[in-house]
Homo-oligomer: A and B are copies of this chain.
Amino acid sequence: MKALENRIETDGTVLQEGVLKVDKFLTHQVDPVLMEQVGAEFAKLFEKEKITKVVTIEASGIAPAIFTGLHLNVPVIFARKSKSLTMNEELLTAEVYSFTKQITSTISISRKFLSEEDNVLVIDDFLANGQAALGLVDLCRQAGAKVEGIGIVIEKSFQTGRELLIEKGLRVESLARIGSLENQTVTFLEADA
């Protein structure tokens, strides 16, 4: 997606080998106009899949996911990274290991929001090692829901996430695919959209 790649070039910062900071428009300050375009693009890519639910994870996944849900006219569920006070019923849970933070955390969704009737589109802001996306897929499959695909805003294609997801038979659509961050420079691969 050209508008997204342009924005990464203008406002992204390569902090160190492998770390891209996009807090000016995605992960801390968010550009709602760009996110609306991102959501429209995901909706177009998956329009034939009869999606019934969009599933993402707090917090940076919410903005792209909510516009995807708006364009597909379906509810959006954001998985929690910690248990909420009012989450008193049965939960679907999965363990997610973070290579960057080197910790395992438990993510969860209330079981009542996913069923065998659901065709899910998983949305996330970043794809690197794929652990968060795999955790979300795991939650959906525990409920018997079908995962129609994964929509990623920014894919770090030099890490293993995409490969892992495709090995599991999942369709992956990334709006910006980064081939390299070497020499503090963002180099794109051809994106899915």
Contact A21 B59 (CB under 8 A): no
This chain: how many copies in the complex?
2
Interface range, A side: 35 or more
Q: List 17 A-B contacts (CB under 8 A).
A: A19-B85, A23-B84, A23-B87, A28-B87, A29-B110, A30-B69, A30-B75, A32-B66, A32-B67, A32-B75, A33-B70, A33-B73, A58-B58, A58-B59, A59-B59, A59-B78, A85-B100
How far does the Cβ of A35 sit from chain B's closest Cβ, in whole Å?
7
How far does the Cβ of A120 sit from chain B's closest Cβ, in whole Å?
12
For A66, list chain B residues within 8 Å (CB). 30, 32, 35, 62-63, 66-67
**Main DSSP-derived SS at the A contact region:** mixed
Once the chains are docked, how many angstroms separate the CA of A187 from the CA of B33? 37
